Structure 1
Amino acid sequence: MPIYEYGCEKCGRDFEELVFGEELPACPYCGATETHKLMSRCARCRGNAGMSGEASAPAAGGGCAGCSGGNCASCGH
């Protein structure tokens, strides 16, 4: 069963829910049933795990602007 991300129309909080079927879940924070499915962010892997489609590790000193030393593990990129 897939886990989806939802947003609550009443309290505005986002949450994840294991989904069985097509029903929209109630908000676990306020109990409202007015929820909507969110577009999930894709995870991007870096490293040399050998799987096709994975990006390779950045060159020394690379990485994104939020990283130090080319390690994106601490910033989530």
Structure 2
Amino acid sequence: MPLYEYICKECSHHFELIVHGSTIPACPQCQTQNLDKQLSAFAVSGGDGNFGFEGDPGGCGTCGDPRGPGACSMD
């Protein structure tokens, strides 16, 4: 079930909505179906299947734990 972002053309409400099958989306604030579908950054990919992952996290200091090297539980 895809998640879409919309901006209502009537009341300018910005919202996200999970769209099921042939459901016609409507603004949750004013109930109009006069919407602009927005480009979602989540839905955009490079086309090569690479989503920015470099593989499994490495040893200490490379997993990105914000507490710094030696703080993660990967050891």
TM-score (norm 2): 0.50
1:45-72 Cα offsets, whole Å, 9 max, x none, are xxxxxxx64278xxxxxxxxxxxxxxxx
Q: Which amino acid aligns with 1:36?
A: D
> Kindly, what percent of the aligned residue pairs are identical?
38
- Cross-structure match for 1:17: 17
Which consecutive residues of structure 1, in runs of 5 or more, have no partner in the other structure? 43-51, 57-77
Considering Cα pairs closer than 8 Å and 6+ residues apart, tell me whether 1 or 2 has the greater RCO: 2
- Cross-structure match for 2:29: 29
Q: Give the 4+ runs in structure 1 shifted more than 2 A.
A: 21-24, 52-56
2:11 matched to 1:6?
A: no
TM-score (norm 1): 0.49
**Number of residues paired by the alignment?**
48
> What is the CA-CA distance between 1:22 and the residue it aligns to?
4.9
